[in-house]
Each structure stands twice: as structure tokens, then as C-alpha cells.
Structure 1
């Protein structure tokens, strides 16, 4: 099996036998594994921003799996969650998935189903990190625009023509064209469509602008 040895699985379950079984199984599959007896114990550890997912029991004393999911969502965690429970029901699984869970598996789970879910979580983590990296880079580029370029940028991505922008700002079309060219260069956009996409990714365009 071709798994990535650097991918970490956090197993959170109050049942020691389950934690042990999951630890041995996942270790044999090539994953790094950390185990926790409760959601509270998991939160007590400093979580590094590294490729990982959470294998989470639903019904635990104190902090339930769903409550832990809510907490992680509240702190903007990007770690994919796979629920694993013997007592799940349809409404519970729907709630978990709607809240962003990667999967909802029922014990006893087949090895292939578990590994497939973890690999899907691995891909999701990579995609999320890629999007975060891209967004960071776009924000850096956007921060390099001058105050006037920010204004022109906003008007351009909302479909205004150079002459309209020039009229509203009291500039010449030539000046607007120069500013627009500078914006395209700084944002590394090759077309208006690409610039609009960047504005959308940055959250600068609302539904009413699309």
C-alpha cells in the first residue's frame, strides 16, 4: 500500500481497546498515529500545522465528538475529521457531514474503507493547504497596490470601462490605462477574467457583483 509516512492520524476514542487496535492497524499501513482518550486531552496538545486528520469517536464522556467538531470549526481548524462510531444514526451523520466532516464510518469498520477515508482526508488536506497558500500569495500581491490602484481595481472587476473610471475619478483614460496595467502586473493577472477570479478569491466581490 502506497501511503505517505508523514501523514498523521489523530485517534480520539475513550475505549482503550479501540485506540490500541486503530494504532496498530494504522501504524502497519504506514501512517504516524497519536491516540487520545478524550477530546479534552486532544485539545491539551499543541497541534502543529502538518498533514493530518482526526479519527473521532462520537459518543464519549464529557466532550462528545460532535462538540469537538463544533469547537474545531469555531477555531478555524483545517484538519479533516473522520467520525467512527458504533452508535451513529442518519441524523447524526448528516449533521457531522454538513459541519464539514470528511466521512462518517460505523464500527466495526473494514480496513479498506478506513484507509480509503484517510486517503481522501489526505487529499482534502493537501487541497485546503494549496488554497490557503494561494490566498496568502494573492493577499501579498494585493497589499502592494497603491490607494488609487485599489480603487481602480475595485471598479475594473465590477465591469466599468476605462472611460467610466476616468470620468468618476477625474483622471484621463491614459492615466487609468496606466494604473490598470500596473494592477495587472502586480496581481500577475493575464486577463480581466483572471483579475475578476482573483477578486472573487479575495472575497472582494459579493453575490450582487457576479
Structure 2
């Protein structure tokens, strides 16, 4: 039975990479493996839910360096580091940058499967959140420029009459704009509108 999730293995140790790939395939995961971070960046395609099993010490690019590049690219696939030996600052840096776990070689299958399950669940949650953010942004794009202004001021907590003064119009006009904003954004309250605005970072949209 195929498990729900894809595993990317990145390790310059051929025997470790092939062994992990075979082991995880046997328990039902789909697996791709790469011998370097550079190969991964060139060849891999984003998949979700997925996890990256990343060796810390590699000759062309360290695990932390690859992690930083992925963050810069906006790829948020959860990372589990595996390493034979690592300096404490590397471990701290990887965890600060969002690594899910850090396992030392030889990796115990039970520990690995627990870490993978946790990471895959996180990626599923991230996918749901990303989909929600995209839906909110699509709704926001349907607003007219004036409705976007009204939306921003509503989120800031201004009342209709205060928004009217701010925009140089009358209260009745703002009521119409507000009703259209709430309808287009599918918000049933100002609190819901504020929550969506913050979740999707609409201040920068």
C-alpha cells in the first residue's frame, strides 16, 4: 500500500542514498534521490505533501546552504537533516531556519518514520493554508481600487464615517463599498475580514 507522501533524499554517500531510497520505497513512499544539492535544484519539481531528507555534509553545497537557497526560492517543503557528524552551529542554524528534525547516522527506521510522518502532516497543513491564501488573494483581486482602499481602512478599524472623511466622500457611499467588499471577500464580519487580510498578507498585495 502506497503511503501518502513523497520523499526527496539528498546525500552524496551513494550507499546511504540508495539504502534509504530502497527502505522507504518498501514501506510505501514514493522516492526521488539526488547526490548533491545542485542536482536537486536543477532537477527536482515541487511536490506536496513531501519531505526532504537532507545530508548536512556534502562537498558542493552543505545542507544548511541548500536550505537557505530553498527558503530564498520560496520552497517550503519540510526538511529533516541526517548527518554522520555536524558542528553544533550547523544544527542550531538548520533548526532556526525551520528544519523539522535532525537525525544522526546510522538512522533508525522507527525514528525516521516518526519524523517523516510529522513532517508530511506539516506539509499537508501548509498546502491547505497556501490554498486558502490563494483563494483570499483571488477574491481581493476582484475588488475595485476604491473597494481595496475601503477594505484596508476597515481592517485598520475605522468606522464608516471615518472612512468617508479619509476618502473625501459621504457615509452612504462608504456603506455601499463596504457591502461590496464583504460580499466579494466572502466575509461575514469585520473580524473575519481582518483575519483573512492578515492570513494572506494583503497589505503587500
- Say whether the fold is shared (TM-score over 0.5): yes
1:62 aligns with 2:57: no
Q: Which moved more, 1:100-109 or 1:133-142?
A: 100-109
1:15 — aligned with what?
A: 13
Q: Give the counterpart of 2:137 among 131, 139, 146.
A: 139
Asked whether the 8 Å contact 2:48–2:123 carries over to 1, the reply is no
Question: Structure 2: any 5+ residue segments left out of the alignment?
Answer: none
Taking a change above 3 Å as real, the CA distance of residues 202 and 35 of structure 1, as seen in their structure-2 partners, is closer
Deviations 1:11-49 (A, max 9, x none): 111112211221221112111112222212222314143
1:96 — aligned with what?
A: 94
Q: Secondary structure at the match of 1:77?
A: coil
Pairwise CA distance, 1:118:
0.8
Question: Structure 1: any 5+ residue segments left out of the alignment?
Answer: none
In the alignment, the residues of structure 2 paired with residue 72 and residue 24 of structure 1 have an alpha-carbon distance, to the nearest angstrom, of 26
Q: Secondary structure at the match of 1:84?
A: strand
Deviations 1:118-150 (A, max 9, x none): 111111111111111111111110011112111
Q: What is the Cα-based RMSD across aligned positions, in Å?
A: 1.8
Q: Secondary structure at the match of 2:8?
A: strand
Number of aligned residue pairs: give it.
204
Pairwise CA distance, 1:82:
0.7
Q: Give the counterpart of 1:28 among 26, 38, 58.
A: 26
Q: Secondary structure at the match of 2:82?
A: strand
Pairwise CA distance, 1:168:
2.7
Q: Give the counterpart of 1:85 among 50, 71, 83.
A: 83
